[in-house]
């Protein structure tokens, strides 16, 4: 096997969706982004940091969409069945 192929295998081994650790981490991250992002992050931005209402709502929407996109990706790759 050439050096380029070995380097490629090392890079792909770092992010393996078959690893239970990565699967668990990504599912927890997706759940956090989908559910906690639009609620608690918006609350922290509005009440504690006193950021404007529009900015906090847009950030909540962005976190929700990021979480849904990650869930869609995980379902597509059959990590979540």
The answer to whether the Cα torsion of 7, 10, 12, 15 is positive or negative is negative
In terms of residues, how long is the chain? 81
- Half-sphere exposure in the Cβ direction for 30 (13 Å, CA): 16
- Longest CA–CA span in the chain (Å) reads 58
Name the residue ranges covered by the structural domains of the chain: 20-76
pTM, full prediction: 0.75
Q: What is the pLDDT of residues 5-32, one digit of tens each?
A: 555 555 555 677 778 888 899 999 999 9
Mean pLDDT (the chain, rounded):
85
Spatial distance between the Cα atoms of 45 and 80, rounded to a whole number of angstroms: 31
Q: Percentage of the chain with pLDDT > 70? A: 81
Cβ atoms of 21 and 51 closer than 8 Å: no
């Amino acid at each position: 096997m050439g050096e380029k192929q070995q380097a490629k295998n090392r890079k792909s081994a770092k992010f393996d969706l078959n690893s239970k650790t990565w699967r668990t981490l990504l599912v927890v991250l997706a759940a956090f982004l989908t559910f906690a992002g639009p609620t608690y992050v918006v609350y922290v931005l509005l009440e504690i940091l006193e950021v404007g209402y529009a900015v906090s709502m847009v950030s909540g929407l962005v976190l929700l969409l990021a979480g849904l996109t990650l869930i869609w990706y995980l379902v597509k790759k059959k990590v979540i069945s």
